[in-house]
Amino acid sequence: MRLGADTSPVAIPRLLSVQIRAVLLGYWRIPLFAIFTIGLPVMFFAFFGLPHLHQVETRHVSVGAYILASLGAYAVSNVLVYNVGIGQAQTRARKLDLLQRASPLPGWIAIAATMVGGLVLATCALAVLLLVGALAGVGLPLTHWGLLIVALVYGAVPMLGLGLTIGYLGSSGNLAPALASLIYLPMAFASGILIPLNQMPSIVRTIAPYLPLYQVGQLGWNAVGAANESALRAVLLTAVWGLVLGALAVYAYRLDQRRKFA
């Protein structure tokens, strides 16, 4: 035991890296969760993508590349809504947040680590999907692959807001998965990232541009040259959605904190 003055707290970057590793270790230890997260988009690709891999769309983009970009948008968003949302709800249900609050770990580090950990897992899920796509024969220039990763990870950041909102509103470990499915799955269909919008009813085509996931899709399609809207527009609207969903998450967070720590 050391007394008094020489106990300056642990430096912030070190705390952040410890906490990010803790979050990732938590994901790693739930194999079923990781398989669901990383495996599902790959499975969808096998079902929808493989049979039409080399068909070419009007804009000289292969169907394989188009589907890969769509499912990539699905994969990254999936992680940030489900894994981050349910993970945060579980942290609260287990009352780990209480113990962290009493420890020298600053609350914002715990949240930042949850966000960074989610983005890392999302990038992994995307990387696996793209690797499978490339191995299956989807041909894209090297710059397009890089652009696709950057565009989709950027595009999915607003989904962190949605995930954390679900995590802070879902009061038990059971409510959050239900909430996540109820919001995310219909939105994924209505945004055209699971089934192309031109195969959807007109009402869905009307709603789609107003959904945050639609912008993630646009970013992905832009990266492979298959978008019908400009990249700049998608980048800006994604930022707007980031602010909206971020504000929602802050609201849900404050509700939670007021209840526990006022």
Q: Which residues bind another protein (CB under 8 A)?
A: 1-3, 7-10, 14-15, 18-19, 21-22, 25-26, 29-30, 90-91, 94-96, 98-99, 101-106, 261-262
The total number of residues written for the chain in this structure:
262
> CB 22 → another protein: shortest distance, Å?
5
Amino acid at 2: R
Residue 32 beta carbon to another protein: minimum distance, rounded to whole angstroms: 11
Task: Provide the minimum distance between the beta carbon of 21 and another protein in the complex, in angstroms, as a whole number.
Answer: 8
When the beta carbons of 57 and 256 are compared against another protein, the nearer one is 256
Cβ of residue 90: shortest distance to another protein, in angstroms?
8
Continuous segment of H or E residues that includes residue 157: helix 142-169
Nearer to another protein, 18 or 131 (CB): 18
* Comparison of 106 and 196: residue with beta carbon closer to another protein: 106
Residue 9 C-beta: closest distance to another protein, Å: 4
CB-neighbour burial class of residue 173 (10 A; exposed 0-12, middle 13-18, buried 19+):
middle
Residue nearer to another protein on the CB measure, 177 or 196: 177
What is the C-alpha separation between 88 and 253, in angstroms, rounded? 11
Tokens representing residue 80 in the block = 């940030």
Closest to another protein by CB, 98 or 182 = 98
Q: Using CB atoms within 10 A of its CB, is residue 244 exposed (0-12), middle (13-18) or buried (19+)? A: middle
Q: Which is nearer to another protein, 46 or 98 (CB)?
A: 98
Distance CA 156, CA 143 (A): 20
Give the DSSP per-residue string, 23-84.
Answer: HHHHHHT-HHHHHHHHHHHHHHIIIIIGGGTT-B-TTS-BHHHHHHHHHHHHHHHHIIIIIH
Query: What's the closest the beta carbon of residue 125 comes to another protein, in angstroms?
Result: 19
